[in-house]
Structure 1
Amino acid sequence: MNRLGDPPPETAAAVSVRKTREVSGAQDAPIRACTPDHFPAIMALAAANPLPGEPAHAPQHDLGEVFTFCDEQGQVRGAMCLSARHGDRLGIIHWLHDGEDFTIATALLDYARTHLSHRPTLAFTSPATTAGVPGLPVRHRQATARAVATTGFTPTAAQDYFLCPLAPDPVADPDPIAEVTPLSTIPGWQLKVKKGSGTLGSAVVLRPHPMTATAVLWHLAVHPEHRRRGVGSRLLAQCLRLASNEGARQMAAYADPGDEPVSHMLLAQDFDPIDTFSVYQRRC
């Protein structure tokens, strides 16, 4: 039991970090190069923070060097993937997983700064969703987001993530506004609202993921001269019905933060704001 005035006890992660600083470069330091036997633990770390509408995320190990944070028993408690671009000399932290332990996240980020020779660095550039959107989901990974801010990173790009539940039964489209054609390059459909020889609006819907039954509204745009006339809302409603009829149980959508017209349209169609994916930068 601590006496009044004694400092609080160190966590196991904090002890490991302190020992790393005391014996920098020693073989028993907690941050070390990844070995194949670490991969299952890294997969488990990545799957520990599920995001609604997304399957368990599998980090790519072939993007750069992978380093792990191991506790005193040799158990993997954190991991990250680093690389350095030769053209612009940027450092890249492709992904980082830490079990939402602030101390471990901070230790990994500090190590990355040293390993990348204090060069300007981008963080969380690896795709974080099945649709390929990069970034750290800041609401679902708040401890990591705090560590990122504490170590000098600031957001450089972001996408708000929305999710809409869909009816389980097929719904007839009473008044389709757009022509629907399958896409040849990616699994999904293109919708076009036409008037004469012109296009008033268009959208792209990605086919539902087999593990989550989540479709993705990948694109929706309305010609500037035809905005605020209900074209976008009707087109979005048709996208939702199309996804539901194709077996989707929810639809994901993305919007730039601060894009109020898009956000309002999504909210009006019962999309819920889930998170914000942020890519970060540090000057040096």
Structure 2
Amino acid sequence: MKYKPKNPTKIDGRVVAEWNEESVLQMVSRFGHLRRAEIAASVWPSSSPESAKKMCSITVRRLLARRELEERPNALGGKSLVVALRGVRRLALSGHESADGRDLSSVDGPQFYHRALGTNYLIQKLREGAQVFGEYAILKQRAPATRAGLKERFNKFPDGLVLYPASSRGYNGPRFAADWIEVESNVKADADIANMMRIALRPGVWLDAAETTVIDRVVFLFDARQRHEAAFCSYLRREVMPVLSDYGDGVLHNIVFARAQIRTPLIWEGCTEVTAAEVLLRSTGESALLKQPKEDV
């Protein structure tokens, strides 16, 4: 006698479990390493925080027991998850490229805070429906531009990329418009700020050799409790405002300050964004900053 389910429209729990496991493995593989809170937020974006946390705990426990994930101490004194060799093999069976993350130095090294801050911002954008590529994806050549191409074109690499349909940003030619993400966790000297502003002050350049993606904005991400925004604005007032006409009135709308709300040691509570034009307008009253010309690309 065949088993007849009581509710034939309900998805088999084993199917859901397998989907959850592969989703977690893919997400950890995408970023290199994640904490449980980051896995919960990214894999179950539509669930309540309590439900997402519970599903994450159950799924991670199974993956650890099967040795498809491995847990490592991170630089903040907590635990992070990386994909183990068995997890790499499982992902390969479903057509997903991955790599063994057990030797990642960014888990317990000095760059952990910097990487985790960027990861949380990218997860927020992922939840909002954008395409995202973190530092690890760029390193592993999974981003829309190669490391060699980025080095040649910009002589530096972003801490992340967020892609949107180009039409949503007012472009007619490109397929995608990208936000170039710069994570700020240390105080920068003027020379370092100037280097980062090189890209911010020339929006509309191609990100990739195939010319599918244009850089639209540069987003400076930082803990809102720190003074990075003041340093950037001071630089813009001294070096850019006096020669604003050389860049175009709308350029300051393409420089974005992402103010992350963080609880110690690094508990993400959200992020608000404001353009450099909005911040400087409050202090200068320059109506020209409100202009937002954008040439077709």
Give the TM-score, by structure 1 length.
Answer: 0.31
Larger radius of gyration: 1
Between structures 1 and 2, the one with greater helix share: 2
Q: When you count strand as a share of all residues, which structure comes out higher?
A: 1
